A and B are shown apart, each in its own frame.
Chain A
Amino acid sequence: MTYVDDFPGEARVVRTAFAIAFASIGLGGALGVLQALFRTGYSRSLFSSVDYYSILTAHGVLMALVFTTFFIVGLFTWGVTRSLDTGFRDLRFTWGWLGLMTLGTVLAFVTILGGIVGFIPTHAAVLYTFYAPLEASPTFYLGLALLVVGSWGAGVDYVLALLDWRAEHPDERIPLQTFMAVATMLLWVVCTLGVAVEVVVFLLPWSLGLIPRVDPLLTRTLFWYFGHAVVYFWLLPAYFVWYTIFPKLSGGRLFSDPLARVVFVLFLVLSTPVGVHHQYGDPGLSQGLKFVQMTSTYFILLPSLLTAFTVVASMEHGARQRGGKGLLKWLRALPWENPSFSGIALAGLAFAASGFGGMVNAGLNVNALVHNTMWVPGHFHLTVGTAVALTFMAITYWLLPQLTGKRLRLRTLAAVQPYLWFVGMVFMSNAMHRVGLAGVPRRTSEPQYEQVLFNTPIATMGELHLQTVGGAFILFASLLCFLAVVLSTWLGERGAEPLAVNGHIPEALSGPEHSPRILDDFRVWVALTFLLLLIAYGPPLAAMVQNGLFAPGSAPIPV
């Protein structure tokens, strides 16, 4: 029996969420190619540099918010119902939150589109990092708010399913996948509180003209309260895949269930009090506060380092189960032709590389070398753009047959796709990191100035631009392969061929019974999270609102 037979209603929810996610990544990827062409100067005739910022906004929102959020709620819907072996309480509620998310996405996207096409009287060229006093049309903020609030509904569904399961299994440990999904959604709710306050209390009334001014530093700080923790909301579902499915794909099973729980609890507790590391260059925030948040930023390396151990150990364990031998020769015994396996392995490799870049970004003073340069997009195209996105694509190859009851088609294309993505990203991200080190700013349509010369050691700027554009085209080709496989499978005939996918996930080598029970008590961890938040964000926020909520204030400046 596959998932679609056990939970046909939930499978439809997951398929719908995935369909919207894939439409977003397809469109967002195409816009990414346009940006690469424009920025590097290969083509500046297609649109104006003003439109560039609308396109950049659409790319950021579609890729970082829409693709990720829809895929994640779909993935967790599968994971929670599968691991608890129970459906959701009321699918009308489920369709309600999915509908709300979709409505929000359409609103935000149409608002952004208004900046490019004349007949829609809206604008939202405020980028994914929508700092006041740059102002978008109210529908942009409203759309983002609905997307976020809708996604909270997913969290409610997971918790309700867990409570239903708990009533029947009072003494059992929470299944690992559900544990991970709930921890991640708790993290998501905690971190989106910041952006919700920013949007609902400040930006929305301000863009509607209900309040004349907002404090730019305060809204910016609320944005970054959310803006780094959101990264872990993207990353943890990838970890969910790496911990619970990847060991099986490697041919073995998970090393340690208890440590996986510890990792997720550490993320829940430590994720939010790190946002100020995006504000090292900001005036109005003390060096002491920056130092405190730098410390938690570095300590959040720990769960990622633990994950690195588990992933590599699982791979090696799997390889040895398959007959792999030797110190490193076991690597050859792994199923590199299976796109679900190779995609995740390559995603992990990209994440290891970008982790080192992240350590640079997190350094209180080293950060000044790369702050707001192209280095940063280089970094997050490896983390979110590869570690997360490639994992999501890879696991789609494994999930889709279970969700549709149809066998994966165009398998050669699927086998090539992760490698293409990896190669494309190596070129593009390498070039981005290096022009960033030369001082080229990010978020700029035309990084050429009469007054400024950028020194690029080793390569010329021309070569790096070629790498950027070349990489972008390879990435887009990879994206087309992915979409072709998905579409072809989706449109295929059900039951024509045997599925060839086994959805069973083996038990961990060291099971949940080896972990202390307190790990499963989320109330403790949420309380600890809020305590740390109070320490990390209480004093600066209190200082900022001391002179009034809206002072020093700025009036909106439409773009």
Chain B
Amino acid sequence: MEIHRLEKIWIAVSLLFIVGLIASIVYGVAGVGVGTVGDTGQQLDPSALDDTEFADPGGHWASEDHYVVHVVARQFLFQPGTQEPITVPANTTVTFYVTSPDVVHGFDVVGTQLNTMVIPGQVTEFTTEFDEPKTYGIVCHEYCGAGHQSMAGQLVVVPADAMSQNATASADAANASAVNASTQASIATPEVPA
């Protein structure tokens, strides 16, 4: 098969360009650590969230340097997020778990890389860290029904020490020093309303 010399050069340059694009993404994922959500293997029955840790969504300390937030996205609000903001500590590893009991939603923290889908039956898990105290908007960016355009919320990043105080104040003062162990346990055995 005859290929013109200029075409050969063009093909070579094109292939280099493509490999370069892929390499830049590999560098972004492996080198800089900017990934996307993966498969956590967590599935649940969307009609029975009350039997899971999503029964009482919200945030808590999993250990002294790891904060965990459970969010339920439903028609047409984020719990927490819409009626009360999601509050997370700055300069701390934060892991989000998001799921939906009804339809497919989006979870986009506007102006950041935190941009994922929320699919009934699946748990969206992502871990991140916020540099400084700031307030972000959250929007549902997947059409989810007639009230979709109203589905939004807020994420408030506060200094980590402020969060710790809140956590301690609300917890039993005597258990404050043992907060790590007890919150770890509280993930495994969430409070299930009667």
Contact = CB atoms under 8 A, between A and B. Distances in A.
Interface of A: 49-50, 53, 125, 127, 129, 131, 133-134, 215-217, 220, 255-256, 258-259, 279-287, 290-291, 294-295, 298-299, 301-302, 305-306, 309, 313, 359, 363-369, 371-373, 439, 441-447, 449-455, 510, 514-516, 547, 551-555, 557, 559
A134 B7 contact: no
A516 B148 contact: no
A313 B82 CA distance: 56
B14 A295 contact: no
Interface of B: 1-4, 6-7, 10-11, 14-15, 17-18, 21-22, 24-25, 28-29, 34-40, 43-47, 75, 82, 102-104, 106, 108, 110-111, 113-125, 137-146, 148-150, 152-154
A287 B142 CA distance: 21
B144 A220 contact: no
Interface centre among B7, B114, B142 (most CB of A within 10 A): B142
A290 B36 contact: yes
B5 to A, nearest CB: 12
Interface centre among A127, A134, A282, A553 (most CB of B within 10 A): A282
Given A305-B14, A445-B149, A255 B4 contact: yes
Contacts of B121: 215-217, 284, 551-554
A510 B75 CA distance: 59
Given A365-B113, A554-B47, 16 more contacts: A127-B143, A133-B120, A134-B144, A256-B4, A284-B43, A302-B14, A306-B11, A309-B6, A363-B28, A367-B36, A368-B114, A452-B137, A514-B1, A553-B45, A554-B103, A554-B121
Contact of A444 (B15, B35, B111, B141): B141
Given A217-B119, A445-B149, A365 B108 contact: no
A127 B103 CA distance: 14
B144 A368 contact: no
Given A372-B115, A372-B141, A441-B139, A452 B110 contact: yes
**Top 10 closest A-B pairs, CB basis?**
A452-B137, A552-B121, A441-B141, A439-B110, A372-B141, A449-B152, A443-B143, A283-B124, A287-B38, A305-B14
Interface of A is mostly: loop
B2 A258 contact: yes
Contacts of B114: 368
Contact of B138 (A446, A452, A510): A452
Contacts of A283: 37-40, 116-119, 122-125
B149 A439 contact: no
Given A287-B35, A306-B10, A365-B34, A373 B103 contact: no
A373 B35 CA distance: 19
8 contacts: A53-B148, A220-B104, A256-B3, A301-B18, A309-B7, A449-B150, A454-B137, A552-B44
A255 B47 CA distance: 60
Given A217-B121, A281-B116, A441-B108, A447 B149 contact: yes
Contact of B36 (A131, A256, A287, A516): A287
A216 B119 contact: yes
A557 B103 contact: yes
Contacts of B3: 256, 258-259
Contacts of A451: 82, 137-138, 152-154
Nearest to A309: B10
A555 B47 contact: yes
A371 B115 contact: yes
Contacts of A449: 137, 139, 150, 152
Contact of B120 (A294, A305, A455, A554): A554
A298 B115 contact: no
A443 B36 contact: no
A441 B117 contact: no
Nearest to B34: A365
Nearest to A558: B145
Nearest to B19: A298
B1 A359 contact: no
A450 B154 CA distance: 10
B139 A284 contact: no
A529 B33 CA distance: 33
B46 A554 contact: yes
Contact of A510 (B2, B104, B142, B150): B2
A373 B141 contact: yes
A282 to B, nearest CB: 5
Nearest to A442: B141
A365 B102 contact: no
Given A134-B103, A298-B18, A450 B39 contact: no
B42 to A, nearest CB: 8
B155 to A, nearest CB: 10
A284 B119 contact: yes
B39 to A, nearest CB: 4
A452 B81 CA distance: 12
Contacts of B17: 301, 305
Nearest to B28: A365
